[in-house]
Structure 1
Amino acid sequence: MGKYLRLAVCVLIALGIAAFAVSDGGAQKGELQNGVWRAEYGKPAQFDLLDAVQFTPDKAGLDRLPKAELPIKIDDVAFQLQDGKVYLRFPLERDEQIYGLGLNFKKVNQRGTIRTLRMDIYHGRDDGRTHAPIPFFISSRGYGVFINSARKIDVYCGTTQLKDSPNASPERDRATDPKWEARPYSDCLEILVPQSGVEVYYFAGKDVADVVRRYNLYFGGGAMPARWGLGFWHRVPLKFTDKDALREADELIAKGFPFSVLGLEPGWQSNSYPCTYDWDKERFPEPAGLIGELRKRGIEANLWMNGYVSKKSSIYDKLKDFYADHTVWCGAVPDYSMPQVREIFIDAFKKNHLDIGVGGFKLDENDGNDFWLYPDTTIFPSGISGEQFRQTHAVFMARMINDLYERNNRRTFSLVRGTNAGTNAYPFVLYSDYGNHKDILTAAVNSSFIGTLWTPEACNARNADEWSKRIQSVAWSPLAMLNAWASKKKPWSFPEAEKDVRETFQLRARMVPYLYNAFYKYHKEGVPPLRAMVLEESFSGLLKNGGAKLSDEYKKLAEDVSDQWMLGDDILVAPMLGGQSSRKVLLPAGKWFDFYTGKYAGSAEVVSVDFAANGNRIPVYVRDGAIIPMSAAPDLKCRKLVLRHYGNLPGKLNLYDDDGVTFDYKKGNFAILPAEVDVSPDGKKTGKVGPELKNLFNYDEAEFEFMTK
């Protein structure tokens, strides 16, 4: 949505709700949608983050949410324009927690941190340089703030002390007072935007989860991926040929490792780093034949690419008027912000890739690092600065591929190594070459606050124990991927773990109905498919309302939960690391049951799980009364549903289904199957499904499985 159209829409909507007003701080403000406000401080830049994306607010979805008011007054946000920069200051209460502020890898609560939000690869420290430097934060008080600037933004999140603060710590003598503090108490969050004005969006909610939903719905709701993208992915080594790729696919199938996407790395192109985007005629003489063979096996192809163009490319000359003045790996850098550039790529990709059946792309190297990419001094034909382009480069590329598929009424599920605000409706998942397992699991948790999806991909491991745990962890994420482009690992590379890894591949294939339902809720209600525990009401409500009854151990572990998450409505996942023989899991309120056995696990308590005693499986739990829809067999073509019921409470399920490949669902071409389990006074359980079963696209049979005896 372009700036002038967006402002016009803002004004029109606001006129129906609240006229724009000028606050004492000099900000224009108005309510745009239910629980969403826009304020303008100073004179915003001509180009900002939202100019890079196309989005239409889901007004119907927002209107379904309860009315919400901001717990702070916009007028209480301090604004100052100094040295050509915008200074914003937000008040913080003593127990207030802050989430978001980009994709972070070390902790969940960001209070007490300093960030310079900058698009980059992750370097192992949370300093703001990250794959998703989204300038959006959420307060535990029930509001969120998005700073719409494509500049590098400095954030001081509860680290600064104001001279006149009524909450200032008393002055102390370090030499004599044991209560002296190196970091005195801070009661504010300060943001520095290096431009003369900025748009700020405020999102209200009854809790953190409600704010996240509003943010996602305002930017169009969550992505609806191609259904085939929810099986396991396997990326092959860099120099594989077409014969190598087919041989690898057949070997996985023969050994009982079902997967639905095969990723081809740079070797498919006639030149890479920089790229031609043309098939290599020796390694891939008949690409259409390869794609056809893969699809016969139920496998889609995903092609690696970066955005830097080789002189050998068939589209190099067509783009000659749109290159920046710097190169990357000796390749030209097209100005992807220009529609002409994206159209040239779309035309070529349709002919050479989409028309022969390519399912999606891996958009690489659009994040960092400084020694590889173009500098901020780069001049782009559109007039966008190098700094602004770096913040939005990945977004423009994702928008281009999204447009390619949407115009042809085909859905994709693709990968991108960078993103920014407002892209939650694009069917892309973030990934990284960074491999620290603990950190990439924390990143998965943090992705749920900022409208992004993240895969803690399994690339390599030191031993069988770590390999099994990495594979299991990624299997319970939005995109399950074994990425062997560099390590050349195969699922069976560690024979001691082969059985466990095979079972995990098969389980992921069976979980597609549940996962697809979770994505529908993301699309329709803005609820992320993978959620931090603080976004789970039975957990956050327990801490708020039942804290006095919780053990001290529970309270301590609940301070920053970075190693477990909710997947969909009813499943709690607790990954484990290599070498970790046991772990503790925080169970929310209500009764929870073991996913694998159906046995009761606990309620509102800390449970300890031994990996070996748990059958070499990471802990996974299901809410009491939940119905988990699964495929009867580890095959995306299996047309029989198994509806697993856990616990002893009655349960209900509405299972969404559509063709899984087109956008016809937007025209109403979908089905919803109601299912429920009744429990009689004597404990007998009875399941039934609605007559809508006959209307489903992917299933025509269903049976119940009662896991808790």
Structure 2
Amino acid sequence: MKFTNGYWLVRDGVTLQRPAEVHDAEIREGSLVLHAPVTRILSRGDTLNKPVITITFTAPRPDVIAVQIEHFAGAKQSLPRYELFSEQVTPQITISEDGQSAEFTSGRLTARAALRGPWHVDYLWDGEVLTSSTARSIGYAQVEGEDPYVHEQLSLDVGEHIYGLGERFGAFVKNGQSVDIWNADGGTNSEQAYKNVPFYLSSRGYGVLVDDAGPVSFEVGSENVSATQFSVPGERLRYEVFGGGTPLEVIERYTGRSGRPPALPEWSYGLWLSTSFTTDYDEETVLSFVDGMAERDIPLTVFHFDCFWMRGFHWSDFVWDPATFPDPRGLLAKLHERGLKVCVWINPYIAQRSALFAEGAEKGYLLRTEDGSVWQTDLWQAGMGLVDFTNPEATAWYQEKLEALLDDGVDAFKTDFGERIPTDGVVWHDGSDPLREHNYYASQFNQAVFELLERRRGAGEAVVFARSATAGGQRFPLHWGGDCESTYVAMAQSLRGGLSLTSSGFGFWSHDIGGFEGTPDPTVFKRWVAFGLLSSHSRLHGSNSYRVPWLFDEEAVDVMREFTQLKQRLLPYLLSAAEDATRTGAPLMRSMALQFPEDPACRPLDTQYMLGPDVLVAPVFRDSGRVEFYLPAGDWVHLIDGEEARGGRFLDRTYDVHSLGVFARAGSRALELARGGAA
């Protein structure tokens, strides 16, 4: 959100007040508190009739500094709040002998505030300034007809790049963008996002989390081209600065605070096959697909039933459609006999015709309006309501309904939707602020399902396939990229979204191989197969057409077999990289900037990525097979054709559909495995 009209003026209808200077500083137990009036205090009379902004520094973990900017301290602390994990730390707090400055230090990270002259705070890592809050950075904005806002601006250095802010499908480098943290079902070719995370990562080696589950607005070098601005509605703004080092070290600190993904089952890394969305399918169709993959020697590990395993107008009642699946337990047993796991589609929207609607309404388990009615809409399912996961009893009730599916033999759930959460005229069970519950709802939904699976299947065996998320959602993996078109452009959009998400603390990510909307051209499908099977997790899924390869052509069958088998050979390497994700937060799929921060050529790259620390993947986005990509310094070997190449340069290659730009570091375990060496 923009408040100013150029450098000198504010926008019409906006009153903007900024701290002028620090009037006094207090050292309290574990915190430094600065009181900053919005004008200079030259006489006693200047202390009257004007706001004072209070800025408080605390240390929730080593190398992390939390900052709270507050106008009215009596304003309600709205729920929900992100679940953040603290660690005992005793900060060092000093005021200089001459009274000119105060320092607050957590580990190797220091906030140094000027106590004389204009407002100014530097954030330093081992004595080097990472970013600063300057005289025009903090603002208390009163906007005509709206609640007030608080904003902060942290300076951008020359050549500094900003990444993250969730799964965003626009430009990977966020400089110059306006980004609103607001979950929406907008597909992959819009500025909207399913997974909004108010955390950004800087190429200078620091990160910033805005600790507010509501609508955070970012202006990344846009309103002030020399700063990243973030603002929230209300009387206070709380953010955290994560100390420097490499970007992966910053991710480690951030996920130590927001949570790391648990281990996923080994079978989840194999190939998933879906019925697709609106296609016609029954038991015969399902078994023909599964057997067809086996007959063509294409390894498959999971079969997924999308929406119409239930009856139309009844979603979600968790009842198999008797017309198409008269014996669901028998069918699931047949799939298990074939060595497969089973996933089914669910969401938290309860249609009026679902038997669960009346039960949930009677027990108070569905979201209510201010007059006590059940909140309902016809968007998606007729008359649907929404499970109120702020009510522990409603959460247990929802989990209980899923238990029957686990008894049937279901192994995993695709937790779809969770973005269209209303904010006007609704009342949540625990009194949560609807504005902040909107984004946070996705985490509550995914947590409820993931924890049920973990309880029933055991630690390390739980997995969901989720679309929506916010900060901390990486604790309930995994997530896929949502609804994309079936084109090369959409394929590249999806990759940008995945790289932005994994720069935001998420360890695992997937996407619909072949795209979701429409039917891909056979060549697009084959190129997407290579990309999809060199991703963290791999799923064949579409909207109104199937994704089994023989419906495209026989060459697609060969391509599917080759890349599925390649991923199988790489599995020990992938599992090792996945262990890093659970231990340090390092994502399995990561941008070149994350892996090679010292190489300036890597910083803007968004059409290639690293799969773990040693495998570089450059998908092909053209019918011609031509791909241009960058190899960092070192010796690299192509995983398929064996080409040996020196790094530190861009390469221009043309590959047929049986290959792509995929290189491993010379001498790496990944290279040995790809060649069929011992695990």
TM-score by length of 1: 0.75
What is the rounded CA distance, in whole Å, between the counterparts of 1:357 and 1:68 in structure 2? 50
Look up the match of 1:134.
197
Distance 1:45 1:622 in 2: 53
* Kept after mapping to 2: 8 A contact 1:49/1:148: no
The reply to whether residue 255 of structure 1 matches residue 309 of structure 2 is: no
Structure 1 residues 427 and 408, CA gap change in structure 2 (3 angstroms): same
The answer (yes or no) to whether the contact 2:79–2:432 under 8 Å persists in 1 is no
Show the counterpart of 1:36.
64
Are the counterparts in 2 of residues 58 and 220 from structure 1 also a CA contact under 8 Å?
Answer: no
Cα distance between partner residues in 1 of 2:76 and 2:635: 52
Determine helix, strand or coil for the equivalent of 1:33: coil
Q: Which residue of 2 aligns with 1:661?
A: none
Do the aligned residues in 2 keep the contact of 1:309 with 1:333 (CA within 8 Å)?
yes
CA distance in 2, matches of 1:33, 1:365: 34
Give the distance between the partners of 1:23 and 1:103, measured in 2 at CA.
36
Aligned to 1:280: 321
Aligned-partner residue type, residue 327 of structure 1: Q
Partner of 1:200: 239
Note the C-alpha offset of 1:74.
Answer: 7.4
Matches within 5 A, 1:405-554: 405-410=453-458, 411-435=461-485, 436-452=490-506, 453-460=508-515, 461-495=519-553, 496-537=555-596, 540-543=597-600
Aligned equivalent of 2:650: 606
Which residue number corresponds to residue 621 of structure 1? 663
Q: Compute the displacement of 1:645 (Å).
A: 8.3
CA distance in 2, matches of 1:140, 1:401: 36
Aligned-pair CA distance for 1:493: 1.9
Aligned to 1:293: 334
Distance in 2 between residues matched to 1:527 and 1:567, nearest whole Å: 11
Q: Secondary structure at the match of 1:281?
A: coil
Distance, in Å, in 2 between the alignment partners of 1:273 and 1:246 is 25
- SS of 1:136's partner is strand
Match of 1:569 in 2: 613
Which runs of structure 2 are paired with 1:578-589 in the superposition (5 Å)?
578-589=622-633
Q: Which residue of 2 aligns with 1:102?
A: 166
Q: CA deviation at 1:471?
A: 0.8
Judged with a 3 Å threshold, the aligned counterparts in structure 2 of structure 1 residues 45 and 226 are, in CA distance, closer, same or farther, namely farther
How many angstroms does 1:262 deviate by? Answer: 0.8
In the superposition, relative to structure 1, how do residues 645 and 610 fare at CA in structure 2: closer, same or farther (>3 Å)?
A: closer
Q: How does 1:295-334 map to 2 (within 5 A)?
A: 295-320=336-361, 321-324=364-367, 325=369, 326-328=375-377, 329=381, 330-334=383-387
**CA distance in 1: counterparts of 2:189 and 2:425, whole angstroms:** 26
Query: Aligned in 2, Cα 1:343/1:414: closer, same or farther, shift over 3 Å?
Result: same
CA contact under 8 A between 2:161 and 2:603: conserved in structure 1? no
Report the aligned-residue RMSD: 2.8
How many residue pairs get aligned? The number is 568
1:357 aligns with 2:401: no
1:644 aligned residue:
673
Q: What CA deviation, in whole Å up to 9, does each residue of 1:590-638 have, x standing for no partner?
A: 11111124331221111111113xx731110001221128xxxxxxxxx
Q: Does the 8 A contact of 2:320 with 2:328 survive in 1? A: yes
Residue 672 of structure 1 corresponds to none
In the alignment, what sits opposite 2:24?
A: none
Is 1:394–2:442 an aligned residue pair? yes
1:344 to 397, 400, 423: 397
Q: CA offsets per residue over residues 307-337 of structure 1, 9 Å max, x none?
A: 1113444433442213223223311112122
CA distance in structure 1 between the aligned counterparts of 2:402 and 2:204, rounded to whole angstroms:
47
Which ranges in structure 2 are unaligned for 5 or more consecutive residues? 1-27, 37-53, 90-105, 111-122, 125-129, 143-147, 370-374
Report the equivalent of 1:22. 33
Give the corresponding residue for 2:18: none
Note if contact 2:509-2:589 (Cα within 8 Å) is conserved in structure 1. Answer: no
Distance in structure 2 (CA, Å) of the matches to 1:94 and 1:73: 11
Q: Who is 1:88 aligned against?
A: 152
Q: Is the 8 A contact 2:61 2:87 kept in 1?
A: no
Looking at structure 2, the residues matched to 391 and 533 of structure 1 have their Cα atoms a distance apart, in angstroms, of: 29
Contact 1:416–1:430 (8 Å) recurs in 2: yes
TM-score by length of 2: 0.78
C-alpha contact 1:234 1:262 (8 A) present in aligned 2: yes
Structure 1 residue 219, shift from structure 2 partner: 2.3
Does structure 1 conserve the Cα–Cα contact (< 8 Å) formed by 2:138 and 2:152? yes
CA distance in 2, matches of 1:284, 1:57: 49
Q: 2:215 aligns with which of 136, 152, 155?
A: 152
**Contact 1:378/1:385, CA 8 A, preserved across alignment:** no
CA contact (8 A) 1:121 1:131 kept: yes
Give the CA deviation at 1:375. 5.5
- The 1:596–1:703 alpha-carbon spacing in structure 2 relative to 1, beyond 3 Å, is closer
Cα deviations across residues 449-498 of structure 1 (Å, max 9, x unaligned)? 11233323214554222111011111111111110352223122221432
Indicate how the Cα distance of structure 1 residues 532 and 312 shifts in structure 2: closer, same or farther if over 3 A, else same: same
CA contact (8 A) 1:576 1:583 kept: yes
Q: Secondary structure at the match of 2:376?
A: strand
CA shift for structure 1 position 204: 1.0
Q: After the TM superposition, which of the residue ranges 139-148 and 81-90 deviates more from structure 2?
A: 81-90
Q: Which residue number corresponds to residue 10 of structure 1? A: none
Contact 2:165/2:500 (8 A) holds in 1: no
Percent sequence identity over matched residues? Answer: 21
